[in-house]
Amino acid sequence: MNKVINKFEELFGSKAEFFASSPGRVDLMGSHTDYNHGYVVTMPVDLKIECAFSATEESALTLYSCNLDTFAKIDIKTGDQIEGDDWGKYVSAVAKVCLDEGHTLKAFNGAFCSTVPIGSGLSSSAALEAAVIAILGKVGGFEIDKKNSALLTQKAENKYVGVNCGILDQYSVIFGERHKVIKLDCRELTHSQVEWPSDVMVAICNTVKPRQLHGSEYDDRRRDCEAAVAVIAKDHPNVTHLRDVSIELFNEYKDKMPANAAKRAQFIIEENDRTHELQAALTKNDKAALKDVFHRSFVGARDLFQISNNEMNCMYEAMSTATGVVASRQAGAGFGGCMASLVKKDQLEAFKKDVFNKYKELTGLECQIYGVHTSQGTNIKPVEALATAEAK
């Protein structure tokens, strides 16, 4: 029986009624393209947050994190956090957007356990937010469809947590499906499945250098992209985001842009094109093309978008020289955190060993490497159904 279900019983003295599961995600192409209304090739992964919960008649949500061994309490009338640890802010933010939408909240007790490394660029916060909105709907008796759940949890993060993220994380986590890597259109909020080669899998390499989006860098990058758009939009009012700018149009205007805006815009326009290139290379299982397109993405992220750091550069070297590697690049927002490689399935163990040793030699740090698979998006099941499924 699942660990989180036992933990719930131990903490709250009764059996949990429901079980929620919400995956992390890794992006395979399209760094920072989401808020530029572009495309991202993204994958929900089987590192996930799980929650055992039951509705209560209390006036506050009482939540426990197995990973941190801390509690948080959230008032259901106001959405305010009234007690507990900092991670409660994500729950409070989601409660507040639901209240803003006019929903009446009912309380629940919940125990959360996560295998998504926290703050490492695999959307641990989106996984938690998506689980919370699904649970609030379940116990409160209201239904929010997937697209609105993604938009509302993004709004929670923007408005109440104070991180100005795009839609990538919340969408990937909520719309995830097993056996599907998707290409997300961040303007239309639709996605399509990307064909996947049978002999290749994804390995996530954690630099163990935690990433913090609260710094100004993420917002600075967004502003640089907007500044580039503003220069072109003077003559082309139909251009509202970098998605609308071809490389030819960019070249006409780049000298009129502030230096940083030009560098960031070039990266985003090329990175967006690379999402289509990646899709074609995956369809053909063209390993040389996969390596090349991932490599250009990393070089652009390092030199033009400037979201790499020493640990990421060392990790790139370790990943690209390891046994069984097909292709390597950054993942998430950058500035540390996790990176991603495509690896030959039958050489995962050798890959892990080589990356671990080389990264340690280069940085002195002991990294973590996870071979990951696609995963179903955020979902809730009665605990009983889970027990029956496990018994089979």
Specify the residue, 37 or 352, whose C-beta has the smaller distance to ligand GLA. 37
- Closest distance to ligand GLA from the beta carbon of 247 (Å): 20
DSSP letter assigned to residue 104: P
Specify the residue, 108 or 294, whose C-beta has the smaller distance to ligand GLA. 294
- Closest distance to ligand GLA from the beta carbon of 328 (Å): 17
Length of the chain, in residues: 392
Residue 34 sits in the site that holds ligand GLA (CB under 6 A): yes
Specify the residue, 138 or 241, whose C-beta has the smaller distance to ligand GLA. 241
Specify the residue, 53 or 305, whose C-beta has the smaller distance to ligand GLA. 305
User: With 0-12 CB in 10 A as exposed, 13-18 as middle and 19+ as buried, what is 249?
Assistant: middle
Residue 224 sits in the site that holds ligand GLA (CB under 6 A): no
Specify the residue, 35 or 53, whose C-beta has the smaller distance to ligand GLA. 35
Range 35-94, binding ligand GLA (CB under 6 A)? 35
Which of residues 24, 117, 332, 377 is near ligand GLA by CB under 6 A? 332
Q: Residue 382: name the closest of 135, 93, 121 by CA.
A: 135
Element (H, E) at 259: helix 259-284
- Closest distance to ligand GLA from the beta carbon of 168 (Å): 4
Residue 31 sits in the site that holds ligand GLA (CB under 6 A): yes
Distance CA 106, CA 140 (A): 5
User: With 0-12 CB in 10 A as exposed, 13-18 as middle and 19+ as buried, what is 391?
Assistant: exposed
Residue 271 sits in the site that holds ligand GLA (CB under 6 A): no
The number of residues that bind ligand GLA (CB under 6 A) is: 11
Beta carbons of 223 and 235 less than 8 angstroms apart:
no
Let me know if 169 is a catalytic residue: yes
Specify the residue, 62 or 272, whose C-beta has the smaller distance to ligand GLA. 272
Distance CA 150, CA 175 (A): 9
- Closest distance to ligand GLA from the beta carbon of 154 (Å): 8
- Closest distance to ligand GLA from the beta carbon of 260 (Å): 17
Cα distances (angstroms) measured from residue 63 to each of 55, 83, 88, 119, 377:
12, 10, 8, 19, 22
Range 164-193, binding ligand GLA (CB under 6 A)? 165-166, 168-169
19-36 burial, b if ≥16 CB within 10 A, otherwise e? bbbbbbbbbbbbbbbbbb
Distance CA 271, CA 264 (A): 10
Beta carbons of 254 and 48 less than 8 angstroms apart:
no
User: With CB under 6 A as the contact rule, which of the stretches 28-36, 97-105, 172-180, 274-282 interacts with ligand GLA?
Assistant: 28-36
Which residues, including other chains, have CB under 8 Å from residue 14's CB and lie 6 or more apart?
54
Residue of 27, 34, 169, 224 marked active site: 169
Specify the residue, 16 or 47, whose C-beta has the smaller distance to ligand GLA. 47
Q: Which residue is nearest to ligand GLA (CB)?
A: 165
- Closest distance to ligand GLA from the beta carbon of 18 (Å): 28
Residue 333 sits in the site that holds ligand GLA (CB under 6 A): yes
- Closest distance to ligand GLA from the beta carbon of 80 (Å): 24
Which of residues 18, 19, 32, 182 is near ligand GLA by CB under 6 A? 32
Element (H, E) at 39: strand 39-55
* Half-sphere exposure in the Cβ direction for 17 (13 Å, CA): 8
Cα distances (angstroms) measured from residue 367 to each of 26, 31, 286, 358, 360:
17, 22, 29, 10, 7
Residue 129 sits in the site that holds ligand GLA (CB under 6 A): no
Positions touching ligand GLA (CB under 6 A) are: 27, 31-32, 34-35, 165-166, 168-169, 332-333
Residues designated as active site: 169
